Amino acid sequence: MRKCLGLGAVLWLALPAGWAVDWKSLKPLGYVSDFAGVVDPAGKARLEAYAADLQRATGAQIALVTIPSLQGEPVDDVAKAIARAWGVGQKGANHRILLLLAIRDRRSRLEIGSGLESLLPRSLAGSVMQQMRPALRARQYGEALMAAAETLATAVARAQHVRFTDSLPRRLRPTFANSVPWPAVAGLLLELAFLSFLGTYALRRAGGGRCAFRPAQAFAPGPSLVLPTGTQSGGGFGSFDSCDSFGGFGGGDFGGGGASSDW
């Protein structure tokens, strides 16, 4: 079985980037479908038992999926295609969760069924990624899936007021240093520095032109207050659009919500 999975992963990686993959043709290999061949057998067995116990306790079904590459397709489209094809979760109740890891692309996607979306906290996707990040950075993908499974199971059990005490043998847990998304922080700091530079440059240009504001002139005694001659805009502080890494759970034709991230 392992040889077949390994051969499949090699063939997948050999596909040209523009060759579309029929994601719906993939068949589930259990609760853990390791198409990338990155989870050790012992870890997979523990995850299978853990997910089965969770389903018996809560009725929620978790599908943990790894693939070598997205083949240039959006991660949310790939995850939705797999979830629809497999019919993850119970019919009607839609208590289903699918977590997809695209190893080469370093992208993840969490899909939440509509039956659970309103029960689970909006911060769940961020919590899952925070718990997985140390293992993902160490390329220990079985450990990362254990972190995700525990985080999801805890949230589901709490939402349904069910006692679920199973645990997984995790070795890597987040600390402040390894849980901070440093690339995102660096990008934000660079963006703020660039905006600060633009603001300073604009003020310097304005100071040498017709629109310069001269305090001595503006507040000089006289019948009226002298204002700058430039065009004035309305009050209030300016703002710029920002994008949350996880963005909350939006709707979708999967029937619930989803959130994407990278590592």
Per-residue pLDDT at 234: 35
Check pLDDT > 80 for residue 143. Answer: yes
pLDDT (0 to 100) of residue 207: 65
Whether the predicted pLDDT of 146 surpasses 90: yes
In a domain, 48, yes or no: yes
Average pLDDT over residues 184-197: 78
The pLDDT of residue 105 is 97
Percent pLDDT > 70 in the chain is 66
* pLDDT, position 215: 46
More confident residue, 194 or 112: 112
pLDDT in tens, 34-53: 999 999 999 999 999 999 99
pLDDT tens-place string over residues 75-100: 999 999 999 898 765 555 678 999 99
User: Do the domain assignments include residue 149?
Assistant: yes
Q: What is the CATH number of the domain that holds 40?
A: 3.10.310.50
Percent of the chain with pLDDT over 90: 48
pLDDT of residue 198: 81
For all residues of the chain together, what is the average pLDDT? 77
Q: What is the pLDDT of residue 203?
A: 81
Any domain includes 146: yes
Domain-located, residue 260: no
Quick check: is 110 in a domain? yes
Residue 256 has what pLDDT? 57
- More confident of the two residues 204 and 65: 65
Residue 246 located in a structural domain? no
Q: How many C-beta neighbours within 10 Å does residue 62 have?
A: 26
Q: What is the pLDDT of residues 196-251, one digit of tens each?
A: 878 887 787 776 555 444 544 444 454 444 444 443 333 332 222 333 332 332 33
DSSP 3-state assignment of 252?
Answer: coil
- DSSP labels for 95-109? -EEEEEEETTTTEEE
Among 16-25, 139-148, 212-221, 226-235, the range of highest mean pLDDT:
139-148
Q: Return the closest-CA partner of residue 257 out of 20, 76, 55.
A: 76
| Enclosing domain of residue 54 | 2-174
Q: How many domains does the chain have?
A: 1
Least-confidence region, from 156-160, 163-167, 174-178, 237-241: 237-241
Q: What is the DSSP letter of 24?
A: G
pLDDT reported for residue 225: 40
Beta-sheet strands, E only, within the chain: 32-34, 61-67, 96-102, 107-112, 257-262
In a domain, 242, yes or no: no
Cα separation values, 120 from 39, 55, 100, 117, 161, Å: 27, 16, 19, 6, 12
DSSP state of 232: P
Amino acid, single-letter form, for residue 108: S
pLDDT the model gives residue 12: 52
For residues 221 and 151, which has the higher predicted lDDT (pLDDT)?
A: 151
Classify residue 78: in a domain, yes or no.
yes
Kindly state the tokens that stand for 2.
């392992």
Model confidence at 69: pLDDT above 90: yes
Take residue 216 and report the two structure tokens written for it.
């001595």
Q: What pLDDT, on the 0 to 100 scale, is given for residue 92?
A: 59
Q: What is the pLDDT of residue 1?
A: 47
Question: How much is the pLDDT for 74?
Answer: 95
